[in-house]
Amino acid sequence: MRFTIFQESRIGKRRTNQDRVAYSYTRDALLLVLADGMGGHLYGEIAAQISVQFIAQSFQQEARPKVTDPVLFLSRVLSNAHHAILDYAFDKHLSDIPRTTIVACLVQDGVAHWAHAGDSRLYLIRKGRLLTQTRDHSRVQLMLDQGLLDAESAAVHPGRNRIFSCLGGSHPPQIEFSRGVPLVNGDVVAICSDGVWGPLDADTLTNTLADGRVMESVPRLMDEAEMLGGTQCDNMTLIAMTWHDDHQADTDTVSTRTMPADAFTTQMEGFGRGKRDQEDLSEDEIERAIREINAAIHKFK
């Protein structure tokens, strides 16, 4: 495999960053995953951390050097991540179970498979055009589908952030799976939270990412989303990957050709390492949260 990949997450104007993002790859498989946590003080952040960390660690264990069945893998790890969040809430005696959106994309044998719940989005861009994108699991999207809203009204609708599917919460997630899409040279897969796609339209995202130079285009999109978000700017997270033919060479590309079959590389920020409000959590509270996250994940390994 050969690809270029870049991820970035910013806190915006919020006290904490409840978004989580990671990528991991072996010689023959690549995983991208993003979660946008929802919940009161701390807990949405933990739901997102449990989900991304669980899915990434499962990939590390099973992709040797690729998973047996991409769709079954995505189905199992998203379901188990959901139950790990429920288990954490049970152990903490929480009356309100934390929740998180999720998008996970697995690429192997040159084919991309993805699954999602909530309103974080995946875009697939080919030859400068938006080939496909995920459909939000939101009330506003249902109203759009039914012709009760137009796109302009949906963008400012007061219920635009209300979603009906997620990991965690009191209802089982309605996880949507893609068909496998064979990737061609220059394809761009981008995944982002609503803090990015909310201020930006699909044309802006598509046109900016179309040239495949994700190292430059991701920060540029983040800057624009942050500026447009203004004083109400939400957490913003974007990960983008450009797929290359194996023979193409570039200083920024990753080539997995010489990796050992049992090796993997992962890029994921740990809990509590991002910018936080000074009055939010003490170091002891962060360490305790990390232990509780790891315990919840361990039960479903």
Which range of residues forms the domain containing residue 122? Answer: 2-298
Q: Does position 272 have pLDDT exceeding 70, yes or no?
A: no
Percent with pLDDT over 90 in the chain: 75
Q: What is the DSSP letter of 138?
A: B
pLDDT at 278: 42
Q: How far, rounded to the nearest angstrom, does the alpha carbon of residue 218 sit from its chain's CA centroid? A: 14
* Domain count for the chain: 1
Task: Return the minimum-mean-pLDDT range out of 38-42, 59-63, 175-179, 261-265.
Answer: 38-42
Peptide bond into 65 cis (omega under 30): yes
Burial 105-134 (b: 16+ CB within 10 A, else e): bbbbeeebbbbbbbbbbbbbbbeeebeebb
| pLDDT exceeds cutoff 60 at 275 | no
How do residues 199-214 score in pLDDT, each as one tens digit? 999 999 999 999 999 9
pLDDT at residue 55 in the model:
98
Q: Check residue 162 and give its pLDDT.
A: 79
Q: 21 - beta bridge partners?
A: 34
**Is pLDDT above 90 for 283?**
no
Closest CA to 217 of 235, 198, 234, 200: 200
Helix, coil or strand: residue 156: coil
**Helix (H) / strand (E) containing 238:** strand 236-244
In the prediction, which pLDDT does 279 show?
47
Angle, helices 283-298 vs 70-91, to 10°: value is 130
> Domain with 99 in it: what CATH number?
3.60.40.10
Q: What is the mean pLDDT of residues 179-195?
A: 97
Q: What is the tens place of the pLDDT at every residue in 111-150?
A: 999 999 999 999 999 999 999 999 999 777 767 766 667 6
